[in-house]
Structure 1
Amino acid sequence: DPFLNHICNSAPTLTVLPPSSEELSSTTTATLMCLANKGFPSDWTLSWKVDGTNQKQEASPTVLEKDGLYSWSSTLTLTAQEWTKAGEVTCEAQQKSQTPVTKTLRRADCSG
């Protein structure tokens, strides 16, 4: 039974995707996405910080994977100007009893 392996809480793995160069060059918005893969149980929540400041974001529905673990994604929309000024953007996954998991995207790491 694949579910037996997942009775313990499992922290998801986070990936933060920067805005695409196409979006930045053709619009005035910058959309970032945080992917959280293989967490358990389903009550992890994703939140965003830009340079340490909490951001409002839209969370997506939780997806139950075949292996009994959950995945989520969350998008953060900034203006292109906010993105240009941002030093780092952090996605955080939190679950009440667990240590939060964070993933930080530093703009210096992105070309352009």
Structure 2
Amino acid sequence: FTFGGGTRLDVGSDTRPTLTVLPPSREELQQGTATLMCLANKGFPSDWSLSWRVEDSSSSSSSSSWEQSSSPGVLQKLDGLYSWSSTLRLPADQWRKVGSVTCEATRGSQTPLRETLRRDQCSQS
């Protein structure tokens, strides 16, 4: 609910979203780009944020310098919970060097949620 000049009131209990990381498509990789998507479903309230960590397959180093974007939370009218998505784009040749990608959902001081996708588990890698 929004009152007056924009004071928002969230009614409900904290609910941790479920994370799913989707790999790039084979067709997209053939065109030289890799887009990964992180879906966060059924969380509450709306201020969870998503971020990415990319692990190089040849070392334990990580990088977050790739293009990232996140959507604002979308309220599901049926259950009053929110869903978000975030995309990570990197060149296909860099994707082939990746060991894993991790999507992390954070909210305040709560323990972050993480979902990791290993490139060698993807059929189109």
The two structures have a TM-score, normalised by structure 1, of 0.89
Q: Could you tell me how far 1:57 is from its partner in structure 2?
A: 1.2
- SS at the partner of 1:57? strand
What is the RMSD computed on CA atoms of the aligned residues?
1.3
1:64 paired residue number: 75
Paired residues in the alignment total 106
- Map 1:9-88 to 2 at 5 A: 9-25=14-30, 27-51=31-55, 52-55=62-65, 56-66=67-77, 67-88=79-100
CA distance in 1, matches of 2:74, 2:34: 25
Partner amino acid, structure 1, of 2:18: T
In structure 2, which of residues 106, 110, 123 is the aligned counterpart of residue 98 of structure 1?
110
How big is the shift at 1:9? 1.0
Stretches of structure 1 that go unaligned for 5 or more consecutive residues are: 1-5
Q: Which has the larger radius of gyration?
A: 2
Q: Which has the higher helix share?
A: 1
Identity of aligned residues (%): 64
In 1: Cα distance, 2:64 partner to 2:45 partner? 24
Aligned letter for 2:43? Answer: G
Q: Secondary structure at the match of 1:14?
A: strand
Please give the TM-score of this superposition, normalised by the length of structure 2: 0.80
The amino acid of 2:106's aligned partner reads Q
* Structure 1 residue ranges, 4+ long, deviating more than 6 angstroms after superposition: none
